Structure 1
């Protein structure tokens, strides 16, 4: 057990595995309309039952007045990440006078691909798109929290967005596949799936370069620290803090779109809006998602999604030092560090990750016997698939423990052998009955799952936080709403700073990759709405 605890302590240090939407663009912002002050001073007061002043963002900062430089533009994009970079490229291609404020020194995003609908390639492959049916499936997963008109507007145009990107960025090349009836894109080098994260980062770098080639101005190392709000409550720009000191004010005639990422790197915001993610390790390459746009929006009078907001917390890639193992959602026996079974394992991938997050040390072990490969492909819970080659590679890499006895398996995993054998005996007893009396797993799968024949395998699982999918309330055109449900003139949001979208969980099964495609598509649509071209094609 000592080894496991030290591994846990390691995880509390810096982790640098990129897998998710990142790329925030500001650190705090507020603005100065006098008529907004009373409301803004109590912003966030209702979150998690908080009283006025509980949170650091509860009090609006004083307006900044010592401006060293002023820049004029039509559109201001705050954040050069998953949402902001495609919006910048689109603006450049359309000849829109746009400026991007980015708090990092470079374009910053993580991830591996898009899920797209109304996709031309998919149509050529024979997909008959049924957006109403897709929306029904989404509504079933949204817990009544989504603005479904907003979701529809974004979802049905993800195909257009991917077309725009593919037509303008020839390298790296996209690799499309049909998944659950929609088209999933990954960008790869030499058709090698292991290159997907690097290729996706390079794709965004190339989009940023394309934007700059077409006249979009990027203000790197310039975190926005305050929105500019006029006396009528309209957002007219933002103030950024320059690296060498001093402030620059960017005035945007058409509007500002927040593309600042999520809140998962800010423990205080997690406490307020998604406490289950506290103390969960991050997979952000750069932990810059500190809810900056959320805070700014609330200071400007915006309404924030009510807690608990949606989460994306996965096993793959893994925060564990040994890395990610295959078979991550195969519903065989799972035990916690006390060697106790704790859940029905035949649930969605995100739900299983949540169940593990609630266990001691946020860790569990998946226990499997020699019959794994006979049924591994029959499960559709959204996890990482595997085959005989993946099994062998996982054992070789130390990601999968292998033993001829349960005693040896327990020793390798740091589990109490007596308790583990008792848990397995009970599990096998229920498998033989064909009915899971303890946790109610579907018998169709449960009867496959005995832990009886050597060799035995144990796979350690620990979820990592990828994104918190809750943000500022928005209407159907990505315009931010105030507490009264009225649009705030000039203020838009896209990506994970945008709320009104997901339920309590990100829907992995059926909507994989939608987090990234909705960020890119939504940001472009926000720019189009500012310019009065929302209903015209993206590409």
Structure 2
């Protein structure tokens, strides 16, 4: 079906469209108080018009005389993050010749959770997931039905196969362990399916996450070649087909000719403020800290190159992934107060909602979780009916919660100044730096709500209300950080980048956070670690689709 001309993803691309790009540029803006002029300029809240985006005009082609080396391979992969190395590992295993170009000095990795619907490790542990259609329904609902349902089913139907493939391939080198951490709220429910993947490698000097390191080395063992410190500059397009990549290495431009296809696996856009303004949820500009690592790796390079080759961005704004990783890294579900000592929310919710509520408070950087000496008993009682990241242990591998891990976190936070402890509530308020009168009134009211068995202030479930009466008293400092903005080029269920009229661009695929359509509104943790899990699945599936046709 033909697209409307003036959609946010209707980016006119390719060298032939360069003249139209400048006129279109600012139509990709997404700020709530922005609009466009008749000429297509973005109008900011103050009335100033933005004349376009820095990537509107494609770069000039690199001259043949400037090419210092030509490398040929069946598949050229741009980016050596988790999706790129999965694609390289699977494609090379299937017999394809593979060249991987990466702008950084070694593969990129971050985080520690990896999702699959029902791995054999889960089955062996007696952990059986909910029905597929229930999880997909939650995924769509949490994304406001603005994501692509066929991509949700791609993950649900193939992720277990991918996790089991890695399990079999790695043997004793990796330990793939399903975890129990998930939020079990009545409105927002996180299903199981999260795994940690552990492995020790003597030569892993850069502390690359175990699955990424393993697949990188396995791909090399299979014959794949990795070119680091070689940022891709542009795609090669001949008669509408993508045939390769130009990358810039220390000794000059190198041409990577792809006999079969190019896979874009360059990561997300959250390291480029202008890309966030153009295609992202404005919320991505709000966190005080962007914790993406390595810094400088996630600047939307693949998205830009894909658009220059005729692709377009996903239909709806790229959502944010915001977690409460700053300061203590633990907040439980106790009473939260802001920097003024005032309670501000129902604490019984998931991590993105908590992050947003904190950012709405004065200062917007942190809040405090307040509790008393009975915290271990209170947390243990709450885990079966609530829990989740930053409430439960981050990666609990046992069916029952124990206080050991949380105790170590709290002790470390007390030492670092990201938690305070006192024998009186007055002393606690002083240590927190909040207004004593306001804080004491909030604690008194919270205790009264507990005694009454009803939270008439924010309507937290009664079974999650606790008293704050038994010294010593604690306050944990916690705050949000932007981790990524998982979204990019519009793709179909084969992971092919879509161009005009939603037809696939021959020879071009996008995977991981360079691809779009998985999520909308917020990054939904219907299964914790589903971003990594789908990135692995996308890389694996794209490789198979290219090799097998």
- Is TM > 0.5 for Structure 1 vs Structure 2? yes
Structure 2 counterpart of 1:46, from 12, 28, 40: 28
The aligned counterpart of 2:322 is 313
Q: Encode CA deviations 1:100-132: one digit per residue, 9 max, x unaligned.
A: 110111112122132112423334455377322
460-469 or 432-441, which deviates more: 432-441
The aligned counterpart of 1:355 is 357
| TM-score calculated relative to the size of structure 2 | 0.81
Structure 2 counterpart of 1:276, from 267, 279, 283: 283
Name stretches of at least 5 consecutive residues in structure 2 with no aligned partner. Answer: 1-10, 42-50, 183-190, 394-401
* 1:230 to 2:238 alignment: yes
Matches for 1:231-246 after TM superposition, within 5 Å: 231-232=239-240, 234-244=241-251, 246=252
* 1:216 to 2:218 alignment: no
- 1:389 Cα deviation after fit: 3.2
Q: Distance in 1 between matches of 2:541 and 2:419?
A: 45
The aligned counterpart of 1:376 is 379
The aligned counterpart of 1:438 is 457
Query: Is the alpha carbon distance of 1:60 and 1:44 closer, same or farther for their aligned partners in structure 2, counting shifts above 3 Å?
Result: farther
Q: Distance in 1 between matches of 2:88 and 2:107?
A: 11
Q: Encode CA deviations 1:209-229: one digit per residue, 9 max, x unaligned.
A: 221122112111110011112
Structure 1 counterpart of 2:544, from 523, 528, 536: 528
* 1:186 match: secondary structure: strand
RMSD: 2.8
Q: Distance in 1 between matches of 2:215 and 2:225?
A: 13
The aligned counterpart of 1:408 is 427
Q: Distance in 2 between matches of 1:59 and 1:452?
A: 64
Q: Distance in 2 between matches of 1:218 and 1:434?
A: 61
Q: Encode CA deviations 1:473-528: one digit per residue, 9 max, x unaligned.
A: 111111112353222222211111111011222222x4112111111110121122
- Asked whether the 8 Å contact 1:31–1:227 carries over to 2, the reply is no
- 1:144 Cα deviation after fit: 0.8
Q: Distance in 2 between matches of 1:477 and 1:98?
A: 19
The aligned counterpart of 2:18 is 37
Q: Encode CA deviations 1:233-282: one digit per residue, 9 max, x unaligned.
A: x32211101123x2112121221111111122222223331332324323
Matches for 1:62-77 after TM superposition, within 5 Å: 62-65=60-63, 66-77=66-77
The aligned counterpart of 1:89 is 89
- Asked whether the 8 Å contact 1:114–1:185 carries over to 2, the reply is yes
Matches for 1:6-17 after TM superposition, within 5 Å: none
Q: Distance in 2 between matches of 1:219 and 1:198?
A: 17
Query: Is the alpha carbon distance of 1:164 and 1:392 closer, same or farther for their aligned partners in structure 2, counting shifts above 3 Å?
Result: closer
* 1:247 match: secondary structure: strand
41-50 or 267-276, which deviates more: 41-50
- Asked whether the 8 Å contact 2:454–2:462 carries over to 1, the reply is yes
| TM-score calculated relative to the size of structure 1 | 0.83
The aligned counterpart of 2:7 is none
* 1:135 to 2:136 alignment: yes
- Asked whether the 8 Å contact 2:368–2:477 carries over to 1, the reply is yes
Query: Is the alpha carbon distance of 1:391 and 1:87 closer, same or farther for their aligned partners in structure 2, counting shifts above 3 Å?
Result: closer
Q: Distance in 2 between matches of 1:492 and 1:281?
A: 31
* 1:342 to 2:344 alignment: yes
* 1:263 to 2:269 alignment: yes
75-84 or 144-153, which deviates more: 144-153
Matches for 1:85-234 after TM superposition, within 5 Å: 85-125=85-125, 127=128, 130-170=131-171, 172-177=173-178, 179=180, 182-188=192-198, 201-232=209-240, 234=241
- Asked whether the 8 Å contact 2:271–2:298 carries over to 1, the reply is yes
Q: Distance in 1 between matches of 2:317 and 2:288?
A: 16
The aligned counterpart of 2:495 is 478
- Asked whether the 8 Å contact 1:34–1:231 carries over to 2, the reply is no
Q: Distance in 1 between matches of 2:26 and 2:173?
A: 42
Q: Distance in 2 between matches of 1:364 and 1:129?
A: 34
